[in-house]
Chains A and B, each alone.
Chain A
């Protein structure tokens, strides 16, 4: 569970880079990096399930999209909504959905779990896709970003790109730290046991169903938070945000980034969002290039991008004079 020191240095450098980026980057890339960070949170939330609880959910986008839709619903057309109303509505709504979906899904495992989470997500997809009051397949606009005010005075103005950028960056760091704390807690020990050997975890006295369900709710709620940010950022929510494409995309971020590492899926999100943009510039057949990239990573980097970072940083630290690569 301990992050090796060279990797920690790498992460801090990455954080420093993200912190100064709005001063040096073009506005197009600032928007892109925000998207990367939002997907980084989304991917980390899925890593809690896949990489730490052993639950391969193929319907994780349901929570991401649902939170965005809830934001769209509570935002009136006439003006902004207060974040003190919007955020609790989005998170509680998503947590409730995760409770219900998890209640049924978590009883199953393996391929059945994949199927049932996919089925639930597709149900939500069709609900929003067919619902003309919510824009149907075109989606729904979120005309105003929520306000963050205390006693009438604005605390943060999310309409400012700078402010919103740092709001997202803080969210990314806070989500990472929160999950780290969670994973080293007694609860974290139990879910890691479930991933390693569920039958044995149960035989040792843990009612594993409950722990899996709570993990599912936490992961769903965090995905909902990412979806909330996506709604604020993009200003539009469409059924595609809940579809199996989106679930597959975030799953690829987790796997390519390196599951069970937390920071790996964030790197995966950065890589996928960047490559998507880059390949689209090169050719309209960009999905072919993306496919090639996925195959290359799976073949040559079995532990994902995080595995590569791990290798490079331990090589560097050894070259520097045999500093121990583990604390």
Chain B
């Protein structure tokens, strides 16, 4: 019933002799929450970097909807409808919270090569910004300079900026990294809400969170896909149990 929205075919990225991502072929379905897990160095972030255009692949293809986006740069990927948030907080530190989201929202205008009209007069951008602030729960912090906000709030802002670009598909690199229990719950709630309308691909180390929200899982190891399937399939997989989840005896 659901269509494939993003596919990778033999996607490969080498750094010298290291195969950071090695012949990864995956399908992501519309409206799904798909988590990518695996030990450190498994190639998860590199895979996200390939999908978002932050890194060019060495070989293989990426298709988003009907488009071949293999050679797209990050700005083209963003305009095609794929948003991304970063593992290391990647915001505009000296901008206010509002301006951070505004910059994302303004990128959906046909062109920003407009020189004489005040930016703040763009009512649609304003609406998108307000919506993004509301979604990420930072409306009350709108006037605060981003560098003065708490770490957790900066993480929320990271997601807010991405949402301001109104993406169809979200790439989230450890959205819960370094968050407290309460903040994590808040963000998990946000991700669940987003999943109603968006496709989500996320990397996460918090296994409780992964199993509570993901519908599909891909387990990576040494740049390769070890297993990919529904949560139940992954739980049942011998290979995964041996390699990553432990033997299952300790619970």
Task: Give A residues with C-beta under 8 Å from B.
Answer: 181-182, 184-190, 192-193, 196-197, 199-208, 210-211, 214
Contact = CB atoms under 8 A, between A and B. Distances in A.
A196 B109 CA distance: 21
Contacts of B104: 204-205
A193 to B, nearest CB: 5
B115 interface: yes
Contact of A205 (B75, B92, B93, B95): B75
A203 B73 CA distance: 9
B108 interface: yes
Contacts of A190: 103, 106, 112
Contacts of A184: 118-120
Q: Which of B112, B114, B118, B165 has the most CB of A within 10 A?
A: B112
Contact of A202 (B74, B113, B116, B119): B74
Nearest to A181: B116
A189 B109 contact: no
Contacts of B127: none
B92 A203 contact: no
B185 interface: no
B173 to A, nearest CB: 12
Contact of B117 (A186, A204, A206): A186
Interface of B: 52, 54, 73-76, 78-79, 84, 90-95, 99, 102-104, 106-109, 112-120, 122, 161, 165
Q: Please report whether the interface of chain B is mostly helix, strand, loop or mixed according to DSSP.
A: loop
A202 B52 CA distance: 11
B116 A204 contact: no
5 smallest A-B Cβ distances: which pairs? A205-B107, A205-B78, A196-B92, A186-B112, A186-B119
B116 A185 contact: yes
Contacts of A207: 73, 75-76
20 contacts: A181-B118, A184-B118, A184-B120, A185-B115, A185-B119, A187-B112, A187-B115, A189-B112, A190-B106, A193-B95, A196-B94, A199-B74, A200-B90, A200-B91, A200-B92, A203-B54, A205-B78, A207-B73, A207-B76, A210-B113
Nearest to A203: B74
B26 to A, nearest CB: 22
B103 A204 contact: yes
B121 to A, nearest CB: 9
B74 A193 contact: no
Nearest to B105: A204
Contacts of A204: 75, 78, 103-104, 107, 161, 165
Given A187-B114, A211-B112, 13 more contacts: A181-B116, A185-B114, A185-B115, A190-B112, A193-B95, A200-B90, A201-B103, A202-B75, A203-B52, A204-B107, A206-B75, A207-B75, A211-B113
A271 to B, nearest CB: 26
A111 B141 CA distance: 36
B112 A196 contact: no
Contacts of B161: 200, 204
Contact of A203 (B75, B93, B99): B75
A105 B211 CA distance: 49
Contacts of A197: 90-93
Given A200-B90, A211-B112, A206 B118 contact: no
A200 B52 CA distance: 12
B102 A185 contact: no
Contacts of A189: 99, 102-103, 106, 112, 119
Q: Which of A181, A184, A203, A210 has the most CB of B within 10 A?
A: A203
B122 to A, nearest CB: 7
A202 B112 CA distance: 13
Contacts of A200: 90-92, 161
Contacts of B54: 199, 203
A196 B93 contact: yes
Contacts of B113: 186-187, 210-211, 214
Contacts of A206: 75, 107, 112
A178 to B, nearest CB: 9
Contacts of A203: 52, 54, 74-75, 78, 84, 90
Nearest to A191: B112
A181 B115 CA distance: 7
Q: Which of A182, A189, A192, A211 has the most CB of B within 10 A?
A: A189
B105 to A, nearest CB: 9
Nearest to B164: A204
A193 B103 contact: yes
